[in-house]
Chain A
Amino acid sequence: MTTTRWHFASVVTLVAAMAVVSLSACGAEDGPGDDGAAPAEPYRIGAVLSLSGTYAGLGEPEKNTIEMEVERINEAGGVNGRPIEVIIVDDATDAETAVAVTTRLIEQDEVIALIGATGTGATMAMRQEVDRAGIPQVSIAGGTVITADFHPLVFQTAWSNSLVVPFTLRYLEGKGVSKVAIIADSGGFGADGAAVIKDVIGTTSLELVAEEAFNPGDADMTGQLTKIKSSGAEAVLMWNAGREAATVAKNMAALDIGIPLIGSHGNARVEFIDGAGDAAEDFVFAAGKVLVPEAYAPGSDEQVVATDFIERYTERYGVAPDTFAGHAYDGLYLVVEAMKRLPEEFTAEELRDEIESTNGFVGIGGVFTFSPTDHNGLSDDDLVMYRVSGGVWTLEK
């Protein structure tokens, strides 16, 4: 059949054309030096953020923060007399894309450090590339696995569940609660939190009497909450970072369970209060101090840094920064401050060592002190309990 034959021949020609195009692409690779006559070559840092996909809502404030802070750093003279350039790329909340764009940052942009990714999955996916390139990565995602599955090149700025869970359980103990129920989403953050709760609850005086789960996107948790109601629990511990949290709060109010709902730093978003309305009243959760700057000790370095950041961010973008903006701020400055402590020329290994030697860096998420075994660097002192009261966050104690 001639058609079939020709058909194949033309396809083959097209494939050939494609291959030629892709090859000519690499020829054009070595000519990026024509953008103005900058006196000093900038330090290039890569940032892998989720600007589209499920975590787009987190990536946006992170991008805003990095752009704002990079301008500020460069206006103040840059680092070691050289400007910095942060190349922000979108991983589309997808592991494969994260790997490809990371390769591009390393190979084509020759970045000296990576910030990101926004999500835990993408952060873990980047590890092979980071490992091979030997450059430090400061993740701004919250998964426990990022630093629990330790890698010398990988740091983390978000409070991990292994820090927040014990803090929250101690609060419950202090309130005289003895029986608790968990309701968590089956997605990454919720499942991770539920696993940590089950791991550490044995070390407390608390007893776990019910464990329920829901899927991201579920619109009704009445069934799970009815079971919890009959379990004799004295408090409901919810672990979830999505908008389902508001549904849980509303369902609890509708069922009139009459026991407190305790959440996590995943609920530190205005969307939760807006979504749950009256049901958000008296909702308690642990998070960093950035939500209510008075949480910082008055006159402390932390308060000065946070208030300044909140003011500048609010002025520029018209909304107050959330905790995710804070994680990006910390990621950027952990790298930049380490660079400032080094001479103008340094290797990736020296930069990694310098980040690891960070001691008492005052960021938005807390005060970071890394060590060769702790790459999260935060402590209980950086957390406070909040209570929603009158539709706003207030300090709880």
Chain B
Amino acid sequence: MGERTIDIRTVAVLALVGALVFAVPLLTADRYLLKVLTFVGINVIIITGMALLFGYAGQVSLGHAAFYGIGAYTSAYVVTSLGWPWLGGVALAVAVTSVGGLLLALPSLRLKGHYLAMATLGFGEIMRVVFVEARGITGGPDGFSGIPFASVGGLAIDSAGANYWLIWGVAAAMLALAANLVRSRAGRAMRALHGSELGALACGIDLTGLKVRVFVISAALAGLAGALYAHVVGFISPSTFSLHASVVLVAMAVLGGTRSLAGPVLAAALLTLIPFADAVIPGLSRSALETIQEWQEDIYGLTIIAVLLFVPGGVAGALRRLSRVGRRWG
């Protein structure tokens, strides 16, 4: 059985999970839960790109919150201030972040390892200043408010359930595209690159071209997520797109593990849900939730340290081990 084929069991389970995820708004009217799960979906879209960049191609970016922000401000500005249709705003956001990713990738990706991380860190900081200073477009530190809901034609996507479907629909599509990509020739090349740059080069892989393409894809996904975020929340400000956000994204990717999409997706869901634990755990008391929120940063940090120490390979590694056990039983 080759790598390209997916067996019937996987299809069945995927279909089941898909159906479950998409059934949530039919089963509950709790807008708080839907909102929180919508935020999870948005992070899943960004993390899909981060999983390709970090998990498959082995490149570390500390500037992806900047692309997230560029996407958000682009769509917010053209839709709210210039009256573009929502789809146009989102498309432009993806285009702008793709070009931005390309411009950053061309010089930076000649750098290796820590130097690339430093370059993206610098980019993130520059964009943070731009978000604050370009008041005419971004609204400055006060932020950009009054962004309308997504709408296609005359149909406004203005309920919590509809927004949930929109975000998870896009997330599912992006995950499917990414899953296809990693099974392709480009995916194998990325894995080779992650294993050994020299080795990959010796196999005739165009390293720079590959790195640039993966970087552009991850930037575009962050921009797409940003554009969707802007219309879901209706307000954006520079603090959402800070270095802190970039670090949390890297944390999700590290926690998720390499050579996997499912691992980072689960890690993103986990880290996004921690401060909103009461949405998913029935009967969690308010004081327990307050304790969790108070220790949120520490929980993030300790989780990552614990994963690095005890679960090498992150969530993905744990899943692989789990599946080995499962195979013995199956």
A40 at the interface (CB under 8 A from B): no
Nearest Cβ in chain A — how far from B227, in angstroms? 15
A95 touches B237 (CB 8 A): yes
A121 nearest CB across to chain B (Å): 4
Q: Is the CB of B17 within 8 A of A128?
A: no
What residues of B have a CB within 8 angstroms of the CB of A191 in the complex? Answer: 132, 140-141
A127 close to B275 (CB less than 8 A): no
Instruction: Say which residue of A21, A52, A99 sits within 8 Å of B233 (CB atoms).
Output: A99
* Interface window among A26-34, A255-263, A297-305: A26-34
Contact between B28 and A23, CB atoms less than 8 A apart: yes
The CA of A28 and the CA of B140, in the complex, are separated in Å by: 42
- Rounded to whole angstroms, the CA-CA distance of A179 and B234 in the bound complex is 42
In the bound assembly, the distance between CA atoms of A84 and B279 in angstroms comes to: 25
Question: Which of B13, B132, B281 interacts with A25 by CB under 8 Å?
Answer: B281
Instruction: Name the A residues within 8 Å of B275 (CB-CB).
Output: 92, 97
**A95 contacts B141, C-beta separation under 8 Å:** no
- 8 Å CB interface, B270-305 against A: 275-276, 278-283, 286, 290, 293-294, 296
Taking a contact as CB atoms under 8 Å apart, the answer to whether A19 and B141 are in contact is no
CB distance from B323 to the nearest CB of A (A): 4
Residues of B within 8 A of A97 (CB): 275
Stretch at the interface among A10-18, A267-275, A379-387: A10-18
Interface of A is mostly: helix
Render B1-27 as a binary contact track against A, CB cut-off 8 A, 1 for contact. Answer: 101001101100110110011001001
Q: Measured between alpha carbons, how far is A95 from B293 in the docked complex, in Å? A: 15
Query: Contacting chain B: which of A102-110, A199-207, A222-230, A352-360?
Result: A102-110
Cα separation A215 to B283 with both chains bound (whole Å): 44
Contact: A103 with B32, CB < 8 Å?
yes
A80–B35 CA distance with the chains assembled, in angstroms: 35
A interface footprint on B233-246 (CB within 8 Å = 1, 0 otherwise): 11111011000000
B234 touches A128 (CB 8 A): yes
| A-side interface size class | 35 or more
Stretch at the interface among A1-9, A167-175, A331-339, A388-396: A1-9
Contact assessment for B9 and A19 in the assembled complex, using a CB-CB cutoff below 8 Å? no
- Flag whether A344 is at the interface (Cβ < 8 A): no
Contacts of A52 in B (CB 8 A): 293-294, 296
Contact with B along A139-179 (1 / 0, CB 8 A): 00001010001000000000000000000000000000000
Contact status A25-B282, CB under 8 Å: yes
Distance in angstroms between the alpha carbons of A187 and B239 in the assembled complex: 10
Q: Are A125 and B294 in contact (CB under 8 A)?
A: no
Interface centre among B3, B30, B32 (most CB of A within 10 A): B32
B319 proximal to A (CB < 8 A): yes
Q: A29 with B30: in contact, given A11-B266, A191-B132 (CB under 8 Å)?
A: yes
Contact A15 B281 (CB under 8 A): no
- Count how many pairs of residues, one from A and one from B, have CB atoms less than 8 Å apart in the complex: 183
Assembled-state Cα–Cα distance A188/B131 (Å): 12
Known: A23-B28, A125-B235. A6 touches B14 (CB 8 A): no
Q: Give the distance to chain A from B207, nearest Cβ to Cβ, in Å.
A: 25
Q: What's the dominant secondary structure at chain B's contact region? A: helix
In contact, A95 and B16 (Cβ under 8 angstroms): no
The one of A3, A13, A19, A124 in contact with B237, judged by C-beta atoms closer than 8 angstroms, is A124
Is B214 positioned at the interface, with any CB of A under 8 Å from its CB?
A: no
Q: Give the interface size class of chain B.
A: 35 or more
In the complex, residue of chain B having the shortest beta-carbon distance to the beta carbon of A186: B132
B35 touches A12 (CB 8 A): no
Cα distance A145–B237 in the bound complex, in angstroms: 13
Residue A90 at the chain B interface, CB threshold 8 Å: yes
Q: B313 → chain A, closest Cβ, in Å? A: 11
Check B32 against A12 for contact (C-beta < 8 Å).
no
Interface residues of A in 182-226 (CB under 8 A from B): 186-188, 191-192
* Chain A residues, CB < 8 A from B16: 12, 16
Do B9 and A120 have beta carbons less than 8 Å apart? Answer: no
Beyond A11-B266, A107-B30, A107-B32, whether A25 also contacts B279 by CB under 8 A is: yes
What residue of chain A has the Cβ atom nearest to residue B236's Cβ?
Answer: A95
Contact: A5 with B6, CB < 8 Å? Answer: yes
Q: Are A8 and B14 in contact (CB under 8 A)?
A: yes
* Alpha-carbon separation in the docked complex, A281 to B155 (Å): 62
Q: Which of A3, A12, A124 contacts B145 (CB 8 A)?
A: A124
Q: Given the complex, which residues of A lie within 8 Å of B283, measured CB to CB?
A: 28
A7 to B260, CA, bound (A): 9
Distance of A131 from chain B, by nearest CB (Å)? 9
Contact between A125 and B322, CB atoms less than 8 A apart:
no
Nearest CB of chain A from residue B270's CB, rounded to whole Å: 9
Which residue of the partner chain, among B3, B37, B133, B322, contacts A10 with CB atoms under 8 Å? B322
**A127–B31 CB distance below 8 A:** no
Q: 0/1 per residue, A316-351, Cβ < 8 Å to B?
A: 000000000000000000000000000000000000
Asked whether any CB of chain A lies closer than 8 Å to the CB of B262, the reply is yes
Whether, in the assembled complex, A96 has its beta carbon less than 8 Å from a beta carbon of chain B, the answer is yes
User: B21, A121: Cβ atoms under 8 Å?
Assistant: no
Question: Which chain B residues lie closer than 8 Å to A13 at the CB level?
Answer: 13, 17
Write the residues of chain B forming the contact surface with A, with a CB cutoff of 8 angstroms: 1, 3, 6-7, 9-10, 13-14, 16-17, 20-21, 24, 27-33, 35-37, 39, 129, 132-133, 140-143, 145-146, 233-237, 239-240, 260, 262-263, 265-266, 269, 275-276, 278-283, 286, 290, 293-294, 296, 316, 319-320, 322-324, 326-327, 330
By a beta-carbon cutoff of 8 Å, the part of chain A in contact with chain B is 1-16, 18-29, 51-52, 87, 90, 92-97, 99-100, 103-104, 106-108, 120-121, 124-125, 127-128, 143, 145, 149, 186-188, 191-192
Q: 22 interchain pairs (CB within 8 A)? A: A3-B320, A5-B9, A6-B323, A6-B324, A7-B260, A9-B13, A10-B319, A15-B262, A15-B265, A15-B266, A21-B281, A22-B280, A28-B283, A90-B294, A93-B239, A94-B240, A104-B279, A120-B142, A124-B235, A125-B237, A128-B235, A149-B146
